[in-house]
Structure 1
Amino acid sequence: MKLRESTSAVALLCMVLAVPAQADVKAGVDAWTAGNFAAAVEEWKGPAVQGDPDAQFNLAQAYRLGRGVEADLGRAEALYAQAAASGHIRAADQYGLLLFQTGQREQAMPYIEAAAGRGEPRAQYLLGIAHFNGDLAAKDWPRAYALLTLANGAGMPQAAGALAQMDEYIPLEQRQQAQPLAASLKAEAEATRARELTAVDLALGKPPTAGDAPQVVEKPQPVTVAKAEPTSTPAPIARAVQPKPPAPRKTAHEATGPWKVQLGAFGVPGNSERLWSRISSRGEIAGRERIERKAGNLTILLAGGYASKQEASAACASLKRSGQECLVTR
Structure 2
Amino acid sequence: MTRLAAGDYPGMKFIRFSLLLVIATSAASASPAAAPKTVRDGITAWQNADYASAVAIWRPLAERGDADAAFNLGQAYRLGRGVTVDLAQAQKWLEKSARAGHLDAQTTLGLLLFDSGSRDSALVWLKKAAERGDPRAMLVYGTALFNGDGVPRDPLMAYAYVSRSAAQGLEPAKTTLAEMDKVLPVDVRRRAVEIALQKAAEVPAPGSKPAKAAKPARVAAKPAVPPAVKAKPVATPSAAASPNQVATAGKWRIQLGAFSKRESAESLYRKFSGALAGHRPFYVAAGAVTRLQVGPYPSRAAAAAACASLKGQACFPVEAK
TM class by shorter chain equals: 0.5 to 0.7
Could you tell me the TM-score, scaled by structure 2's length?
A: 0.54
Q: Does 1:171 align with 2:171?
A: no
Paired position in structure 2 for 1:155 = 169
Q: Does 1:119 align with 2:133?
A: yes
Paired position in structure 1 for 2:117 = 103
Paired position in structure 2 for 1:70 = 84
How is 1:287-306 mapped onto 2 (pairs within 5 angstroms)? Answer: none
Structure 1 residue 22, shift from structure 2 partner: 6.1
Report the CA distance shift for 1:152/1:22 in structure 2 as closer, same or farther (over 3 A): farther
How is 1:1-330 mapped onto 2 (pairs within 5 angstroms)? Answer: 23-190=37-204, 210-211=211-212, 213-217=214-218, 237-238=227-228, 241-243=231-233
Structure 1 residue 139, shift from structure 2 partner: 1.8
Q: Deviations over 1:261-285 (max 9, x none)?
A: xxxxxxxxxxxxxxxxxxxxxxxxx
Q: Deviations over 1:150-209 (max 9, x none)?
A: 111222221121112112211122112222111012122239999xxxxxxxxxxxxxx7
Please tell me the residue identity of whatever aligns with 2:168: A
The percent of aligned pairs where both chains have the same amino acid is: 39
Structure 1 residue 28, shift from structure 2 partner: 0.9
Q: CA separation in 2, counterparts of 1:240 and 1:155?
A: 22
Report SS of the residue matched to 1:186.
Answer: helix
Q: CA separation in 1, counterparts of 2:219 and 2:171?
A: 17
Paired position in structure 1 for 2:318 = none
Larger RCO (CA under 8 A, 6+ residues apart): 1
Q: CA separation in 1, counterparts of 2:40 and 2:75?
A: 15
Structure 1 residue 216, shift from structure 2 partner: 2.1
Equivalences, count: 200
Report SS of the residue matched to 1:94.
Answer: helix
Report SS of the residue matched to 2:204.
Answer: helix
Report the CA distance shift for 1:156/1:36 in structure 2 as closer, same or farther (over 3 A): same
Q: Based on CA coordinates, which of the two structures has the bigger radius of gyration?
A: 2
Q: Deviations over 1:10-32 (max 9, x none)?
A: xxxxxxxxxxx963433211111
Q: CA separation in 2, counterparts of 1:122 and 1:82?
A: 20
1:61–1:76 CA contact under 8 A, matched in 2: yes
Could you tell me the TM-score, scaled by structure 1's length?
A: 0.53
Structure 1 residue 55, shift from structure 2 partner: 2.0
Q: CA separation in 2, counterparts of 1:151 and 1:89?
A: 15
Report the CA distance shift for 1:239/1:25 in structure 2 as closer, same or farther (over 3 A): same
2:74–2:89 CA contact under 8 A, matched in 1: yes
1:45–1:59 CA contact under 8 A, matched in 2: yes
Please tell me the residue identity of whatever aligns with 1:36: D
Please tell me the residue identity of whatever aligns with 1:243: P
Report the CA distance shift for 1:132/1:77 in structure 2 as closer, same or farther (over 3 A): same
Q: CA separation in 1, counterparts of 2:185 and 2:231?
A: 16
